[in-house]
Amino acid sequence: MAHHLIKDLILLLLVSLPINIIFHRIKFPSVMGYLVAGVLIGPHGLKLISDVSAVKELAEIGVVLLLFVIGLEFSLGRILKNLASILGAGGLQLGMTTLAVWFVFSEMNFQQNQSIVLGLIVALSSTAIVLKMITDNAEIDTLSGKLCVGILLFQDLCVVPIMILLPLLGQSEVHSNLDFILEVAKSLLAVVTIYFLFRWVVPKILAGVARVGNKEHLTLSVVFIILFTGWISQQMGLTLAMGALIAGMIISESEYNHQIILDILPLRDYFSSIFFISVGMLLQIDIFTSSFFTCLGLTVLVVLVKGFFATLACFLVRVPLRISFVVGMRLAQVGEFSLILSAMALNQGLLDSHQYQLLLIVSILSMLLAPLLIQVSTGLSIKLFSKWKSKEIPSNESKTTKLKDHVVIVGYGVGGRTLAQVLLEAKISFVVLDLDGERIRRALTEGITILYGDCAQEQTLIRAGLREARMIVLKISDYTVTEKTVRLSRKINPQVNIMVRTRRTDQVEELKNAGADQVIPEEFETSVEIFSRVLRDYHVPNNIIEQQVELIRLEGYSMFRGIALNTKSFKKFSAYLTASLSESYFVSEDSWALEKTIGDINIPTRTGAVVIALVKKNKPYPNPDQKLIVQSGDIFILLGSHVQLDQSLKMLRYGHLDGKEKTN
């Protein structure tokens, strides 16, 4: 038995690793690679893995560890703090989707408990896939990205009550509504009891172990707590996975949670990969091929229903229709938690094997379709809603009608807000465009002229007075919207100066071709700041550093895109850096050079640098006399190489070249 399991695990890793590498290369989530690998190597595919039951047992361990780490990331305090913002679109999306699916299956004469379970399972979306895609596309800070994260967080929170609900829905002895309510109350009481009891005990155990033991003892204690909490929850009528989730939430409140995450994460990743591969292995190819059009039709139906209700949920909380549509497309798949819950529903007798297979096939197909939908969501939304007038919220739009020769700022995040404050101080007129309701309210309280509108729509830019504006500055994270806005801006006002902030240097040429005058990538600005500080530390004068920055800008950032500078530019760059440099030194009360003569200090002999001048009371003394006495407030002007200047500064400060204070 053991050697069969080891052989299966070797084959599992051997096949899944290259598939996962391929998916990583094409920037698709690894979850999809694991599912495909499972389908290929399973007993219904190439039959490379025979002992599916043993792999499923390992997968159950993976689910436990997966839910434990999720519990670690769900601090109860953070959840309660952001509860209001989580409940809005998330509650509407989950509620409306569940009700719609429940109604459809009820009309198809499914049992009530089955219809409820199917509604809850289908309503959940894939946190792993959506977060991976929007993070890779640098869209996590966009309005659509924030809405996706909020809805996914609400769904993940709802996994806890759904896990409580499934065993109750599977109990045949529960008949009346009163019995059902009592069972739900009993389960909730069990969760609350376990949570608060262990929350009181666990921190004391961890503190004691950390005080008398080492990191290994802490890890062993955590494994013990996970298993013991799971066992207790199982004894109280809950599931082992539910106990692991509670254990994670308890430990997340302790000061050891960061170290614990680092210790458990490798195990979680390994076992969760086995879980997703085992799910793929459970998919029966013969059912898929015999019911191909049925599965395809159900997948399309699920995607349309989920996309519609996610869109509607966002629109009902006053999000523009275009952004709501983007969120709907990104959440239109069935999630990884749905796979866990559908397996639980099968074990509880809520689904038969054929229903489970159809649900599994539809889930996997929707997850494989998800990256494509996410990639095209923004571009498709712009094409569909470019003429759609956004639903308005209060703004001080009337002020914009009188503006001329002003600046249009797109995005009131940190960068946009800073620019607005600078323009206010400089008394330069401007108007801000944004879609985030909270940013709009903040701007209104600060007295900022702001419009609520989608910059990817021509009418919004016209309302902001772009035809009369001198400059438009785009400081938003969504690249597709940025490019569209640049093209629209150039079309509306061919003379306007367009300045864009972008995340990556490889987008510079594309945005310039679209019509932008100046494109400032964040990677470039970070690189400039780093090399500027390095050169300053080596006493390169500020004007030389500024010349290098300007040189790179003139070269179109090609240096940071891996393209060599042209020969002439490179020679300039090299000449600047190898030339003799200048440096100044201010003589303070604790300087070694204080009250000594220029001859006593003898900089040229000791370091090789040259004293060009000594400034006394704002009067320069070029090539100073050797008998001139150095006083507090004097400034040395030095010339030399990097090393010579560095040694000279140490000499003037400490009297020796090691740069350290000497103690008696």
Which of the listed residues 379, 412, 435 is the one where a domain comes to its end?
Answer: 379
H or E segment and range at residue 616 = strand 610-616
DSSP annotation of 629 reads B
Looking at the fold, whether 455 and 359 belong to one and the same domain comes out as: no
Domain boundary among 336, 351, 379: 379
Q: Output b/e per residue, 186-214; b: 16+ Cβ within 10 A.
A: ebeebbeebbeebbeebbeebeebbeeee
Residue that terminates a domain, selected from 578, 606, 640? 578
Whether 515 is in a domain gets the answer: no
What's the whole-number average pLDDT of the chain? 79
In order of 225, 231, 233, 466, the CA distances from 202 in angstroms are 8, 15, 15, 60
510 belongs to a structural domain: no
Q: Give the per-residue pLDDT at 271.
A: 65
Which residue type occupies 48? L
| Helix or strand holding residue 6 (H, E) | helix 2-25
User: Is 604 found in the same domain as 568?
Assistant: no
Please report whether residue 454 resides in a domain. yes
Tokens of 148: 């996706």
My answer on whether 189 and 77 are in the same domain is yes
* pLDDT range class, residue 563, cuts 50, 70, 90: very low
User: CA–CA separation, 611 vs 332, rounded Å?
Assistant: 72
Find the CATH number of the domain harbouring 590: 3.30.70.1450
Task: Please state the rounded mean pLDDT for residues 473-477.
Answer: 88
Max mean pLDDT among 221-225, 228-232, 517-521, 632-636 falls in 632-636
294 and 171 assigned to the same domain? yes
Token pair 């069972």 in the structure block, residue: 183
What phi and psi values does residue 153 have, to the nearest 5 degrees? -65, -40
* Residue 108, SS3 per DSSP: coil
Question: Are 534 and 472 members of one domain?
Answer: no
Is-contact 130 374, C-beta < 8 A? yes
Say if residue 75's pLDDT is above 60.
no
What is the predicted pLDDT for the residue at 454? 84
Give yes or no: residues 59 and 202 share one domain.
yes
The reported pLDDT for the residue numbered 225 is 83
Greatest mean pLDDT among 67-76, 476-485, 627-636: 627-636
Q: Are residues 303 and 432 in the same domain?
A: no
Same domain? For 64 and 119 the reply is yes
Position 517 in a domain = no
Tokens of 608: 């090789």
Residue 659 lies in a domain: no
Predicted pLDDT at 59: 64
Q: What percent of the chain has pLDDT over 70?
A: 79
* Lowest mean pLDDT segment, chosen from 94-98, 160-164, 324-328, 347-351: 160-164
Residues 164 and 259 placed together within one structural domain of the fold: yes
- For residue 389, is it within any domain? no
Residue 9, domain member (yes or no): yes
Interval 110-161: pLDDT, tens = 888 888 899 999 999 987 788 777 877 777 777 888 888 788 878 877 777 8
Q: Are residues 624 and 638 in the same domain?
A: yes
Provide the pLDDT for residue 631: 92
Number of domains in the chain: 4
Residues 262 and 311 both lie in one domain: yes
| Other C-beta atoms lying within 10 Å of the C-beta of residue 391 | 12
CATH of the domain at 475: 3.40.50.720
Q: What is this structure's pTM? A: 0.66
Does one domain contain both 546 and 649?
Answer: no
Three-state SS annotation for 138-199: CCCCCHHHHHHHHHHHHHHHHHHHHHHHHHHHCCCCCCCHHHHHHHHHHHHHHHHHHHHHHH
Task: Single out the residue of 254, 230, 240 nearest to residue 340, CA to CA.
Answer: 240
Give residue 315's domain range: 2-379
Q: Three-state SS for 633?
A: coil
User: Residue 426 falls within a domain, yes or no?
Assistant: yes
Q: What is the pLDDT of residue 391?
A: 47
